[in-house]
Amino acid sequence: MTKLSGTNLDGGSRPEGRSAWTGLRKQFFAQLQRIGGALMLPIAVLPVAALLLRFGQPDLLNLPILGAAGQAIFDNLGLLFAVGVAIGLARENHGAAGLAAVVAYLVTTQGAQVFITPPAALLALTGQAQALAIEAFKQNELKTLTVPAGILCGLLGGALYNRFHRINLPAYLAFFGGRRFVPILSGVAALALAAAFGLEWQRLELGMDSLSHAVLAAGPWGLFGYGVLNRILIVTGLHHVINSIAWFVLGNYHGHTGDLNRFFAGDPTAGQFMAGFFPVMMFGLPAACLAMYHTALPDRRHAVAGLLASIALTAFLTGVTEPVEFSFMFLAPALYAVHALLTGFAFIIMRALHVRLGFGFSAGLFDYVLNYKFATRPLLLLPVGAAYFGLYYGIFRYAIVRFDLKTPGREEVDSAAAMPAGAASAAASADRARSYITALGGAGNLESVSACTTRLRLTVRTQNTVDVEALKRLGARGVVQPSATALQVVVGPTADLLASEIREAMASMPRESVMALAAAAPATSQPQPASELAATPATSAPAREIVQGLLAALGGRQNVRSIESASSRLRIGVANASAIDRAAIRKLGIRGVAIAAADCVHVIVGPAAEAAGASLRELLA
């Protein structure tokens, strides 16, 4: 008989085994998301490589040094992936993980060469010629495996850093403890990878060739599936995983693997896994923005014009489309499904027309112009793009009006949740990173902070203290909660810079304040019985200290006239607003404070507002 544990939403029981499987699945999903984000760090280097390689060509600047510099980056993608993936996975993105990955990569690639036997023709050579020929042969034999080896070494370096970066060794070995131990252990562990690649390199290459042929043999429907899956997975950020396979693994052209790498190496068949993005990103999604603008409410149209124009221009010029997609992804999932299908069909159309386009960053105008020389039949993008522009505009305008979708400019303005007068100017003058931290539940709620191209990738202690509306007021395009502790905030191309600012600001912010306030409020996901709620004190001891500090920062008892709780904020009537110490309130980790009038102040504390208000009234009684 199956042992039962837990309760379903409908009051029934659920098998303990199913619950355990769900937990493992969520953990695997969270780890896969981290890997997807980590892959973006080395990929971010490719635009520089593409620019150097292109500008060095004879038809542009004709500077061989630039071309050689760009080609050097493409020739060492394996090393770049090793360093980038390791740093992306490591806690605090510490460079020691990158060093560990470099050690692992060198041990793997150089160790694997020992197991490769050169042909007899090379052994017939003598002296330095023989040594150079044998070395070149071994390097060439492993060239197609360098990217997979780099990714594996990056995973190894990041995982070992997270596990052993605080290890304590005996006193006589103490110098090699902590972070210094990680590169040493990575080198030893990489011996297994060296043996695997060295002894099985032919089978590994055969497996990669089989995968490439299977995908390419699928013809247009293989490309269709890739395009649809790419757009569907963007909600979780896992599209980076399949992109890495398509762009850096599939196919082989004189030792260059992957559709992107082969395109810049001059392979006339490369570009199939990139060309289909151009009609959608340069024409389709900007047309969707135009449809949103035309269907916005007349009195709101001017307000959203700047937003829609900026994200449409970003998509057209650079191919960064997530800000557009997140504006309708959750409002109209069926419309987003149509968008994913249209992306798949774009790949079929471009293949049928024998169009081959490539990019170093994404499918935008900049890459289209710079890589025009490498493309095949690039002018056909224009009629296809024009057709996609009309198709997207018509579909989006019809769907928005027919189903009354609340796209930008059509959403209802919630006066209770809207930012009060004076708050906007206060937020504008506040530090951006601190504002995001408080909206995310405070420094104490953030376990890890990283970023990919357009989104913050966060691990939080609890989702209950995250203020989604505050994040949107700060400029976030969308918020995704893949699991109980994983959080993604779409902010656009500034994501990596913002993540760095947040990590720097977290060191100076209190880590307990917001968590203490949150502890005072009952969890919404697990309601307590009425008897337990009645027995629960208004606030815990640490929360009471925060509330006492808040009362003092508000000017003390004599300055507080009234206290009202409203959603996520406290509306406090005061005798003199100038007596309020804003700096002291911010030091408590409170999300925000705004002077709404000369006798009224709004204090934003998140889901714990009701409990904090009750505690303040208790102190005043």
Question: Which positions are annotated as active-site residues?
Answer: 452
Start-end of H helices in 76-180: 77-89, 95-113, 120-123, 127-142, 146-164
DSSP string for 251-288: -EETTEESHHHHHHTT-TTTTHHHHTHHIIIIIIHHHH
- 8 A C-beta contact, residue 154 and residue 81: yes
CA 536, 540, 546, 552 torsion: positive or negative? positive
Contact partners, residue 416, CB within 8 Å, separation at least 6: 566, 567
Q: CA–CA separation, 444 vs 466, rounded Å? A: 12
- DSSP classification of residue 457: E
Token duo for residue 389? 């522009």
Paired with 451 in beta bridges are 456
Q: What one-character DSSP code corresponds to residue 456?
A: E
In sequence order, the β-bridge partners of residue 569 are 566, 604
Dist. CA 359–CA 342, nearest whole Å: 20
> In this structure, is the dihedral angle defined by the CA atoms of residues 525, 526, 527 and 533, taken in order, positive or negative?
negative
Q: Is 527 exposed, middle or buried (0-12, 13-18, 19+ CB in 10 A)?
A: exposed
Neighbour order of strands in the sheet with 600-604: 560-566, 569-574, 600-604, 592-597
Contact call for residues 302 and 408 (beta carbons, < 8 A): no
Rounded to whole angstroms, how far apart are CA atoms 331 and 350? 30
Burial of 253 (0-12, 13-18, 19+ CB in 10 A): middle
DSSP code per residue over 22-76: HHHHHHHHHHHHHHHHHHHHHHTTHHHHHHHHHHTSTTTT--HHHHHHHHHHHHT
